[in-house]
Amino acid sequence: MSTASVTMTHSNETAAPAERKPRDDEIDVYGLTHPGRTRTENQDHFLICSLHKSIAIHGSSLPDFSPVPTGTDRVAFLAMVADGVGGGLRGEEASRLAVEMATRYVTDCMRCYYAADPADAEFMEALEQAAIGAHDEFLRLSEDDPDRRGMATTLTLWLGAWPRAYLLQVGDSRYYLFRDGELTQLSRDQTMAQELVDLGVMSRSDAARSRYATTLSSAIGGRQNMPVVTRLTNAWGLVHLLCSDGLTRHVSDDRIRERIAGMQSARQLCEGLLQDALDAGGSDNITIIAGRCIPKDPA
């Protein structure tokens, strides 16, 4: 199992002004990935990093993905989950390449993070282009190597540029927001099952049990690539959760909400949810990232 964490100490918690950007030691974030109980390979990958006009990687499941030395104060925080499809090593390769490509594209476009207006259209278009660029590269690879045909992956990317945040999604890896005791799924599953639900052809419960629940309607490298970028507002006390469907096919939203409501740290939350998924069968790879900002006494 691969894991990564940042800032696990929460003593001397206190209220924080809404306008103040969290310090590095006030960010509690953790990520892990596990092959599950039945799969011999893990085709999921994740990444957690901070952006400083350069990049400082705090942890990842990616092999030989070396960090770049940190520059100035943190400008943004980046987290990604990718769930590969296509079978065998191609699924692992797809998710790994998508995370690497998206990270490099985002860091090459750092001007977006410290531009005069980080909320302008250029910023959101850059995130969309990260998915489009990865998709185009997958198509090129498949033309050059027939063994790579059909290689595809989901990609769910969260970027926080305080107090704004941005969500990029392709596929069905989910993003949840926990606010004031309520859990909300802000991503939309890009699956055939969700399409049938939206059309009123199938109920949500029937769709979840159908074979269409795992059939993607959009993926990087798939027949269709329809990246969705959503602008959000970040704040102190919110809990952000990204995960692959290896978690959500076994663990209900109610259980996720219960775990978050009782969390002591991001690490404890991720490990608890992982155990829930394993106890319920663990039939797929499981990847989870959780993060929140915890105000601390400046002293």
- Residue 293 contacts by C-beta under 8 Å, 6 or more apart in sequence? 16, 22, 26, 27, 28, 234, 235, 236, 237, 238
Q: What are the pLDDT tens digits along the chain (299 aa)? A: 766 544 333 333 445 555 788 988 999 999 999 999 998 899 999 999 988 765 667 778 877 665 444 456 777 889 999 999 866 568 999 999 999 999 988 877 655 555 545 556 777 888 899 999 999 999 999 889 888 888 999 999 999 888 889 999 999 999 999 999 999 999 999 999 999 988 988 888 888 888 888 889 999 999 999 999 999 999 999 999 999 999 999 999 999 999 999 999 999 999 999 999 999 999 999 999 999 999 987 64
Q: What is the pTM of this model?
A: 0.87
Residues forming beta bridges with residue 179, ordered by sequence position: 182
CB hemisphere CA count around 20 (13 angstroms): 13
Nearest of 76, 236, 70, 244 to residue 153 by alpha carbon: 244
Burial class of residue 80 in the structure, from the number of CB atoms within 10 Å of its CB (0-12 exposed, 13-18 middle, 19+ buried): buried
CB 270 within 8 A of CB 288: yes
Q: Which CATH architecture has domain 2-186+224-293?
A: 4-Layer Sandwich (3.60)
